[in-house]
Structure 1
């Protein structure tokens, strides 16, 4: 894998993607909102602590460690929004209404 220099748009995208994955993983594990909120604050603090890393090798090491941690914490049954592929309502056929949507004689 080629190194991506810090403070570039490509690196920003990689770190943003990891951050979103961490937030989703925290949501999958949280049973209560207050626990989820605390987990998101902890994750944000960890990302902020490494915000100013400018050494490309150190950056690659941190990103690799973050990916490994995400694999370790991956939930076996993640939350899937109902209307997304794999959700409980995905591609349900809702019958078409046969009566007027607005009652009355117009």
Structure 2
């Protein structure tokens, strides 16, 4: 496996993806906005604390540790917005089909 080099576009995208995953995981665990906001500030502080890393080995270790932490904290029943696939309202009021529902000539 190739080691990530610091300050590359691929690395920035990976860190941004991990940050978004952390925010989603925090939202899954705390659906109330005030508690969620407090968690987002903690997450941001953790990411900002590691912003200075320029050693590729240290960077790889931090990314691996972050992935492990996200896997550990993954919610068993994540929040799905109601109208998204898998949500409670997804395709609730779909229009009726144009063809005959029961085949045959009655």
Q: Same fold (TM over 0.5)?
A: yes
TM range (shorter): 0.7 to 0.9
State the number of aligned residues: 96
Give 1:95 shift. Answer: 4.2
Q: CA RMSD in A?
A: 1.4
For residues 1-106 of structure 1, the aligned pairs below 5 Å read 1-95=1-95
SS of the aligned residue for 1:87 comes to: coil
TM-score for the superposition, normalised by structure 1 = 0.84
Tell me by how many angstroms 1:32 deviates.
2.1
**Would you identify which runs of 4 or more consecutive aligned residues in structure 1 move more than 4 Å?**
none
In structure 2, list runs of 5 or more residues that go unmatched: 97-106
Deviation at 1:92, TM superposition (A): 3.1
